[in-house]
Structure 1
Amino acid sequence: MRSIDTSRSIAISSPKNVPNEQPPADPPVAPARSALMARVGPRDTLPEMVVRRLLHAMGNRFRLHRRDLPGTPDIVLPGARKAIFVHGCFWHRHPGCPKATTPKTRREFWREKFDRNVERDRRKEVELRQAGWDVLTIWECETRDTVALEKNLRDWLASSIPKEARLPVG
């Protein structure tokens, strides 16, 4: 085991009378909030599990989190060239949804973060479609009504994209 020599320290000083160009640091995040946010995972979320169970019950087999595809879709049906993103309404800003609120503190930080998320989602969906994939986004709030969700999934799975728009699977 290597030990770190803490007896030596480097003093970093800034020249006097030079204005600090850095913006003020955000206040520290409360430990309880940090623990809550750390538990939010990118996969196997409750809404995703609802969609997976429905698809499986409908007789569909799929792959999860294909990292070789743009955006790493949550659910992929490779034979049909269909990809599903299951988005949380808060993180991905579901338009018109009451869950898509903005925290009252650090509003600029959150606005920038949400804008980046929405832009990345749009960009990755475009990349998938250009590669010949059919893409469906299911919002967290849509997973509460499983009857309507199953109907939407059946309709989407029954539709197909034109053969000329598809690229070879591989």
Structure 2
Amino acid sequence: MAWRGVPVVVGIAILAGGPAAAGVHPPEVEARLALFAQNWTIEGMEGAFREDCEWYHDRSFVVCHATEVEDGKTFHSVSVLGFSSRARTYTYLHYSSTGGSRTETGYPTETGGLVFLGERQTAQGFAQTRSVITPNAAGPGFLFEQTRALNGGEWKPTVKFKYVTRGPAK
């Protein structure tokens, strides 16, 4: 028996909240993205920075909302981490309350982390960035290190943060 083309048994399972479907990505991709689905702060910036990250529908992406207070001003941003099955690369999109945005492409590392590469035009010229994310082997958390090259020049470190959990995962 069917109701408007949907088998009744399937329709009942959907209405009853049936078993949760698996994510849309292969398990190894989902495992790397799962690292980010937490409530975060940065070590040493606990009172000024918070980032809440959770899975989007069907575990397709991790969406993060961040708040940072700097010099008495509050800034907000949204980041989306995912995986493009077509391009076979990880993806990072970032949008800031200051109007800034960036898009980066990533790949996995042997340590279970990710590396994201970005390019953009800045006031100082053409900037290339490399962000390396290394999971903390002792538990939740990761090291975020970024280097930057301007106008094809030497790669220089720009930031190094240790992300630590702030509370229960969402």
**Larger RCO (CA within 8 A; separation ≥ 6):** 1
TM-score (norm 2): 0.30
Larger of the two Rg values belongs to structure: 1
Q: Which structure has greater strand proportion?
A: 2
Q: Which protein has the bigger helix share? A: 1
- Name the TM-score, length of structure 1 as normaliser: 0.30
